[in-house]
Each structure stands twice: as C-alpha cells, then as structure tokens.
C-alpha cells in the first residue's frame, strides 16, 4: 500500500497556523545592541498570524515586537524581542 499521495500531503500542509514578521511601514529602522554586543539594525514589527484550512480564513496582527532586519529582504528577519522584556 503506497503512502499518502502528493495531493493529500498538500491538503495536510494547508491546515494550521503560521506566523510571519513584517516591519511596520513608516517607522524608520534603528540600532540596538544584541546579546553578542554587536549593533544590529532593527525595526518595529507586527507578528502576523494566518490561520488556514485549505485557504487562509483569518489573518490578524497577534502582537508587536522589535525584530532584527534581514538585509537581503530589507524586512524583518527571524530574530525578534518581545516589547515587555
């Protein structure tokens, strides 16, 4: 008996929740010192949650954070800091 076919796997992967960081437009980048005492460019970012069941049905801002800027994308990278810390 073969394992799940490709269309079925595509269906399984289209369910769930994903998070994405986006720099807030209109707010300039600024510098912070990270844990390695290096200055890095950061931005005020929105943590955007997308809930999907085959198609996205709920997209909303979960919270705001400070995110390290990814220079290749000129947008928020993967590393971020909560505002309350």
Interval 35-63: pLDDT, tens: 899 999 999 999 999 998 888 889 999 99
Q: Is residue 3 part of a domain?
A: no
Q: Residue 51 in contact with residue 58, Cβ under 8 Å?
A: yes
Pairing of the two strands 15-23 and 39-53: antiparallel
What pLDDT digit, counting tens, does each position of 4-39 carry? 444 545 544 567 888 999 999 999 999 999 889 999
Q: Domain count of the chain?
A: 1
Reported pTM? 0.72
3-class secondary-structure state, position 6 = helix
Read off the tokens for 35. 């844990």
User: 51 lies in which domain range?
Assistant: 15-82
> What is the DSSP code string of 20-63?
EEEEPTTS--EEEE-TTS-EEEEEEEEEEEEEEESEEEEEEEEE
Q: Is residue 7 part of a domain?
A: no
């Amino acid at each position: 008996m073969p394992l799940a076919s490709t269309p079925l796997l595509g269906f399984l992967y289209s369910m769930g929740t994903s998070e994405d960081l986006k720099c807030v437009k209109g707010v300039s980048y600024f510098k912070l010192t990270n844990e390695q005492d290096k200055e890095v460019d950061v931005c005020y970012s929105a943590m955007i949650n997308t809930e999907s069941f085959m198609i996205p049905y709920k997209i909303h801002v979960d919270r705001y954070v400070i995110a390290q800027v990814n220079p290749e994308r000129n947008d928020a990278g993967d590393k971020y800091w909560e505002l309350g810390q």
